[in-house]
Protein backbone atom coordinates (compact mmCIF):
# COMPACT_ATOMS: atom_id res chain seq x y z
CA UNK A 1 0.00 0.00 0.00
CA UNK A 2 1.40 3.40 -1.03
CA UNK A 3 1.56 5.77 1.96
CA UNK A 4 3.40 8.66 0.33
CA UNK A 5 2.02 12.05 -0.63
CA UNK A 6 1.21 12.41 -4.33
CA UNK A 7 2.74 15.91 -4.31
CA UNK A 8 5.70 15.22 -2.02
CA UNK A 9 6.82 11.69 -2.75
CA UNK A 10 9.41 11.74 0.06
CA UNK A 11 6.77 12.48 2.73
CA UNK A 12 4.63 9.89 4.48
CA UNK A 13 0.87 10.33 4.13
CA UNK A 14 -1.96 8.56 5.91
CA UNK A 15 -4.79 10.96 5.06
CA UNK A 16 -6.60 11.07 1.72
CA UNK A 17 -8.04 14.11 -0.01
CA UNK A 18 -11.80 14.22 0.45
CA UNK A 19 -12.37 14.99 -3.26
CA UNK A 20 -9.78 13.07 -5.29
CA UNK A 21 -8.92 10.41 -2.67
CA UNK A 22 -5.18 10.81 -3.26
CA UNK A 23 -2.81 10.57 -0.28
CA UNK A 24 -1.69 13.91 1.16
CA UNK A 25 0.99 14.77 3.74
CA UNK A 26 0.52 17.38 6.53
CA UNK A 27 1.98 20.14 4.33
CA UNK A 28 -0.77 19.50 1.75
CA UNK A 29 -3.71 19.04 4.12
CA UNK A 30 -6.19 21.92 3.89
CA UNK A 31 -9.20 21.89 6.17
CA UNK A 32 -12.49 21.68 4.30
CA UNK A 33 -16.07 21.71 5.61
CA UNK A 34 -15.70 17.92 5.86
CA UNK A 35 -12.25 16.36 6.26
CA UNK A 36 -9.23 17.58 4.31
CA UNK A 37 -8.54 18.41 0.69
CA UNK A 38 -5.36 18.76 -1.34
CA UNK A 39 -4.22 22.11 -2.77
CA UNK A 40 -5.10 21.01 -6.33
CA UNK A 41 -8.72 20.26 -5.46
CA UNK A 42 -9.07 23.42 -3.40
CA UNK A 43 -7.80 25.49 -6.31
CA UNK A 44 -9.96 23.67 -8.84
CA UNK A 45 -13.16 23.88 -6.82
CA UNK A 46 -12.35 27.25 -5.26
CA UNK A 47 -13.33 25.86 -1.88
CA UNK A 48 -13.42 28.55 0.78
CA UNK A 49 -11.08 27.70 3.66
CA UNK A 50 -12.88 28.19 6.99
CA UNK A 51 -11.80 31.29 8.87
CA UNK A 52 -11.55 31.92 12.59
CA UNK A 53 -13.20 34.92 14.22
CA UNK A 54 -9.76 36.57 14.40
CA UNK A 55 -9.07 36.29 10.68
CA UNK A 56 -6.90 33.17 10.71
CA UNK A 57 -7.49 29.94 8.88
CA UNK A 58 -7.39 26.35 10.05
CA UNK A 59 -3.96 25.75 8.54
CA UNK A 60 -2.21 22.81 10.16
CA UNK A 61 1.26 23.91 9.03
CA UNK A 62 2.64 26.63 11.39
CA UNK A 63 5.17 27.98 8.91
CA UNK A 64 6.03 31.16 10.85
CA UNK A 65 6.57 29.26 14.09
CA UNK A 66 8.72 26.75 12.25
CA UNK A 67 10.81 29.51 10.65
CA UNK A 68 11.45 31.21 14.00
CA UNK A 69 12.46 27.92 15.62
CA UNK A 70 14.86 27.06 12.80
CA UNK A 71 16.36 30.56 12.84
CA UNK A 72 17.02 30.64 16.59
CA UNK A 73 18.41 27.10 16.75
CA UNK A 74 20.61 27.65 13.68
CA UNK A 75 22.05 30.89 15.02
CA UNK A 76 22.76 29.26 18.38
CA UNK A 77 24.55 26.40 16.61
CA UNK A 78 26.66 28.92 14.68
CA UNK A 79 27.52 30.74 17.89
CA UNK A 80 28.77 27.47 19.35
CA UNK A 81 31.10 27.08 16.37
CA UNK A 82 32.15 30.70 15.80
CA UNK A 83 31.81 32.25 19.25
CA UNK A 84 29.13 34.36 20.90
CA UNK A 85 27.39 37.04 18.81
CA UNK A 86 26.17 38.89 21.92
CA UNK A 87 28.60 41.80 21.71
CA UNK A 88 28.12 42.12 17.95
CA UNK A 89 24.34 41.86 17.72
CA UNK A 90 23.03 41.92 21.30
CA UNK A 91 21.01 44.68 22.94
CA UNK A 92 23.67 47.15 24.21
CA UNK A 93 22.24 50.61 25.01
CA UNK A 94 25.38 52.54 24.06
CA UNK A 95 25.60 50.81 20.69
CA UNK A 96 21.93 51.48 19.93
CA UNK A 97 22.32 55.14 20.81
CA UNK A 98 25.18 55.30 18.31
CA UNK A 99 22.86 54.22 15.52
CA UNK A 100 22.95 50.43 15.67
CA UNK A 101 19.17 50.25 16.09
CA UNK A 102 18.96 46.80 14.47
CA UNK A 103 20.26 45.32 17.72
CA UNK A 104 16.74 45.73 19.14
CA UNK A 105 15.67 42.86 16.86
CA UNK A 106 18.86 40.88 16.26
CA UNK A 107 19.25 40.43 20.02
CA UNK A 108 15.95 38.53 20.09
CA UNK A 109 17.26 35.62 18.00
CA UNK A 110 20.36 35.14 20.19
CA UNK A 111 20.56 33.07 23.38
CA UNK A 112 23.09 32.96 26.18
CA UNK A 113 23.07 29.19 26.72
CA UNK A 114 21.43 25.91 25.90
CA UNK A 115 18.89 26.11 28.75
CA UNK A 116 17.95 29.64 27.73
CA UNK A 117 17.39 28.44 24.15
CA UNK A 118 15.48 25.30 25.15
CA UNK A 119 13.09 27.14 27.46
CA UNK A 120 12.20 29.76 24.86
CA UNK A 121 11.93 27.32 21.97
CA UNK A 122 9.77 24.90 23.96
CA UNK A 123 7.42 27.75 24.87
CA UNK A 124 7.31 28.80 21.21
CA UNK A 125 6.63 25.21 20.11
CA UNK A 126 3.84 24.96 22.69
CA UNK A 127 2.13 28.30 22.06
CA UNK A 128 3.04 29.20 18.49
CA UNK A 129 1.10 26.72 16.34
CA UNK A 130 -2.22 27.32 18.08
CA UNK A 131 -1.87 31.09 17.94
CA UNK A 132 -0.68 31.02 14.34
CA UNK A 133 -3.68 28.93 13.30
CA UNK A 134 -6.06 31.18 15.20
CA UNK A 135 -4.62 34.48 13.92
CA UNK A 136 -3.19 33.58 10.54
CA UNK A 137 0.44 33.82 9.52
CA UNK A 138 0.73 37.57 9.02
CA UNK A 139 -1.06 38.49 12.23
CA UNK A 140 0.98 35.96 14.19
CA UNK A 141 4.24 37.22 12.68
CA UNK A 142 3.26 40.80 13.57
CA UNK A 143 2.44 39.74 17.12
CA UNK A 144 5.77 37.96 17.54
CA UNK A 145 7.93 40.73 16.04
CA UNK A 146 6.19 43.55 17.93
CA UNK A 147 6.38 41.61 21.22
CA UNK A 148 10.09 40.99 20.64
CA UNK A 149 10.62 44.65 19.81
CA UNK A 150 8.57 45.73 22.82
CA UNK A 151 10.77 43.62 25.08
CA UNK A 152 13.93 45.14 23.64
CA UNK A 153 12.63 48.70 23.90
CA UNK A 154 11.66 48.17 27.55
CA UNK A 155 15.10 46.72 28.25
CA UNK A 156 16.70 49.66 26.45
CA UNK A 157 14.75 52.12 28.57
CA UNK A 158 15.25 50.62 32.00
CA UNK A 159 18.55 48.70 31.87
CA UNK A 160 22.00 50.00 32.83
CA UNK A 161 24.01 51.39 29.95
CA UNK A 162 26.57 48.58 30.16
CA UNK A 163 23.88 45.88 29.84
CA UNK A 164 24.25 43.16 27.20
CA UNK A 165 20.85 41.52 26.69
CA UNK A 166 19.88 38.66 24.37
CA UNK A 167 17.01 36.23 24.02
CA UNK A 168 13.50 35.69 22.67
CA UNK A 169 11.94 35.93 26.14
CA UNK A 170 10.19 39.23 25.42
CA UNK A 171 8.48 37.69 22.40
CA UNK A 172 7.59 34.55 24.37
CA UNK A 173 6.00 36.60 27.14
CA UNK A 174 4.06 38.40 24.42
CA UNK A 175 2.74 35.07 23.15
CA UNK A 176 1.70 34.09 26.68
CA UNK A 177 -0.27 37.27 27.33
CA UNK A 178 -1.73 37.17 23.81
CA UNK A 179 -2.97 33.62 24.39
CA UNK A 180 -4.53 34.74 27.67
CA UNK A 181 -6.32 37.70 26.05
CA UNK A 182 -7.58 35.64 23.11
CA UNK A 183 -8.51 32.74 25.39
CA UNK A 184 -10.61 35.00 27.57
CA UNK A 185 -12.28 36.40 24.46
CA UNK A 186 -13.21 32.83 23.51
CA UNK A 187 -14.26 32.07 27.11
CA UNK A 188 -11.59 29.39 27.44
CA UNK A 189 -9.94 28.39 30.70
CA UNK A 190 -6.62 30.25 30.79
CA UNK A 191 -5.96 29.85 34.52
CA UNK A 192 -2.91 27.64 33.94
CA UNK A 193 -1.36 30.24 31.66
CA UNK A 194 -1.98 32.98 34.21
CA UNK A 195 -0.24 30.88 36.86
CA UNK A 196 2.63 30.20 34.45
CA UNK A 197 2.94 33.91 33.71
CA UNK A 198 3.00 34.75 37.42
CA UNK A 199 5.65 32.12 38.18
CA UNK A 200 7.90 33.38 35.42
CA UNK A 201 7.53 36.95 36.62
CA UNK A 202 8.65 35.88 40.10
CA UNK A 203 11.55 33.84 38.71
CA UNK A 204 12.62 36.84 36.65
CA UNK A 205 13.08 38.89 39.83
CA UNK A 206 14.72 36.14 41.90
CA UNK A 207 17.12 34.68 39.34
CA UNK A 208 20.14 36.93 38.63
CA UNK A 209 20.98 37.65 35.03
CA UNK A 210 17.39 37.52 33.76
CA UNK A 211 16.21 40.63 31.91
CA UNK A 212 12.81 41.00 33.56
CA UNK A 213 12.40 44.38 31.84
CA UNK A 214 12.19 42.65 28.47
CA UNK A 215 9.65 40.23 29.93
CA UNK A 216 7.37 43.06 31.01
CA UNK A 217 7.78 44.95 27.74
CA UNK A 218 7.01 41.89 25.62
CA UNK A 219 4.05 40.92 27.80
CA UNK A 220 2.54 44.41 27.59
CA UNK A 221 2.90 44.65 23.82
CA UNK A 222 1.64 41.09 23.29
CA UNK A 223 -1.48 41.82 25.33
CA UNK A 224 -2.06 45.09 23.44
CA UNK A 225 -1.72 43.42 20.03
CA UNK A 226 -4.03 40.56 21.05
CA UNK A 227 -6.61 43.01 22.39
CA UNK A 228 -6.46 44.79 19.02
CA UNK A 229 -7.07 41.47 17.24
CA UNK A 230 -10.31 40.97 19.17
CA UNK A 231 -11.77 44.14 17.65
CA UNK A 232 -13.59 44.66 14.38
CA UNK A 233 -16.04 42.72 12.26
CA UNK A 234 -15.36 40.58 9.21
CA UNK A 235 -15.99 43.67 7.06
CA UNK A 236 -13.57 46.09 8.73
CA UNK A 237 -11.28 43.75 10.70
CA UNK A 238 -8.27 43.97 8.39
CA UNK A 239 -8.29 47.76 8.29
CA UNK A 240 -8.59 48.06 12.08
CA UNK A 241 -5.79 45.57 12.66
CA UNK A 242 -3.41 47.22 10.19
CA UNK A 243 -4.01 50.69 11.64
CA UNK A 244 -3.57 49.41 15.20
CA UNK A 245 -0.34 47.56 14.39
CA UNK A 246 1.11 50.66 12.74
CA UNK A 247 0.13 52.67 15.83
CA UNK A 248 1.83 50.23 18.22
CA UNK A 249 4.95 50.16 16.06
CA UNK A 250 5.00 53.97 15.97
CA UNK A 251 4.83 54.14 19.78
CA UNK A 252 7.81 51.78 20.04
CA UNK A 253 9.78 53.84 17.52
CA UNK A 254 9.04 57.07 19.39
CA UNK A 255 10.04 55.45 22.67
CA UNK A 256 13.33 54.34 21.11
CA UNK A 257 14.04 57.82 19.74
CA UNK A 258 13.32 59.38 23.15
CA UNK A 259 15.65 56.93 24.90
CA UNK A 260 18.33 57.56 22.26
CA UNK A 261 18.29 61.23 23.24
CA UNK A 262 18.75 60.36 26.92
CA UNK A 263 21.53 57.83 26.36
CA UNK A 264 23.35 60.09 23.90
CA UNK A 265 23.39 62.89 26.52
CA UNK A 266 24.66 60.49 29.20
CA UNK A 267 27.56 59.13 27.14
CA UNK A 268 28.34 62.48 25.52
CA UNK A 269 27.61 61.73 21.90
The answer on 179 and 262 residing in a single domain is yes
> Which of 111, 116, 215, 241 is labelled catalytic?
215
The answer on 114 and 32 residing in a single domain is no
The answer to whether residue 8 is catalytic is no
The answer on 88 and 37 residing in a single domain is no
CATH of the domain at 114: 1.20.1540.10
What whole-number distance in Å separates Cα of residue 10 and Cα of residue 147?
37
The answer on 190 and 75 residing in a single domain is yes
Could you read off the pLDDT of 92-104 as tens digits, one per residue?
999 999 999 999 9
> Which of 107, 169, 188, 264 is labelled catalytic?
169
The answer to whether residue 264 is catalytic is no
Pairing of strands 30-31, 36-37: antiparallel
What whole-number distance in Å separates Cα of residue 127 and Cα of residue 255?
28
The answer on 138 and 254 residing in a single domain is yes
Count of domains observed in the chain: 2
Q: Is residue 55 part of a domain?
A: no
The answer on 156 and 29 residing in a single domain is no
Q: Is residue 115 part of a domain?
A: yes
- Higher local confidence (pLDDT), 199 or 220: 220
What whole-number distance in Å separates Cα of residue 161 and Cα of residue 150?
18
Q: What is the dihedral of CA 127, 167, 116, 171, to 10 degrees?
A: -10
Could you read off the pLDDT of 206-240 as tens digits, one per residue?
777 788 899 999 999 999 999 999 997 777 888 99
Q: In this predicted structure, which of 127-136, 144-153, 191-200 has the lowest mean pLDDT?
A: 191-200
The answer on 44 and 79 residing in a single domain is no
Domain that holds residue 15: 1-50
The answer on 68 and 13 residing in a single domain is no
The answer on 129 and 90 residing in a single domain is yes
Pairing of strands 23-24, 15-16: antiparallel
Q: Is residue 191 part of a domain?
A: yes
Q: Is residue 56 part of a domain?
A: no
In the predicted structure, residue 12 carries a pLDDT above the cut 70 = yes
The answer on 46 and 117 residing in a single domain is no
Q: Is residue 75 part of a domain?
A: yes
The answer on 151 and 125 residing in a single domain is yes
pTM: 0.80
Amino acid sequence: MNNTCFRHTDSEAYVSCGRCDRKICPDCMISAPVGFQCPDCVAAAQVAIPKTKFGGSFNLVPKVTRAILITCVSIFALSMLLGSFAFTYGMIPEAIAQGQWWRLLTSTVLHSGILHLLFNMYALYWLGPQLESMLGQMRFASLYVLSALGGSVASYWFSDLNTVSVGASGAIFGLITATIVIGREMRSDVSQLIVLLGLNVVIGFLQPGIDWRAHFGGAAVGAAVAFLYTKGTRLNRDQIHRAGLVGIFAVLVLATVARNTQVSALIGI
